[in-house]
C-alpha cells in the first residue's frame, strides 16, 4: 500500500513539474500568448494604415479624372 501511494505522489509531482517547467508548459504558453497579443495589435495597426493608404490612393485617382 505504501508503494502505491509513493508511486501516485511521484507521478503527480512529475506531472506538475512537466506542466510548470517542462517543454510546452505554462511558461511557454504565456510567452506565446503574449506574442500573439502583440501580433494582433500590430495587425490592427497595419490594417488601419492600409485602409488609410487605400483611401488616399482612391482620392488621388478621383482627382485625376
What is the residue range of 46's domain? 2-64
Q: What is the pLDDT of residue 41?
A: 98
Q: What is the pLDDT of residue 21?
A: 87
Residues of the chain scoring pLDDT < 50: none
Domain count, the chain: 1
Q: What is the pLDDT of residue 63?
A: 86
pTM, entire model: 0.64
Q: What is the pLDDT of residue 65?
A: 62
| Separation of alpha carbons 51 and 45, rounded Å | 10
Q: What is the pLDDT of residue 10?
A: 96
Amino acid at each position: 500500500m505504501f508503494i502505491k501511494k509513493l508511486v501516485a505522489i511521484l507521478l503527480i509531482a512529475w506531472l506538475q513539474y512537466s506542466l510548470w517547467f517542462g517543454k510546452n508548459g505554462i511558461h511557454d504558453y504565456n510567452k506565446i500568448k503574449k506574442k500573439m497579443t502583440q501580433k494582433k495589435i500590430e495587425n490592427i495597426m497595419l490594417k488601419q494604415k492600409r485602409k488609410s493608404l487605400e483611401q488616399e490612393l482612391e482620392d488621388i485617382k478621383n482627382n485625376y479624372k
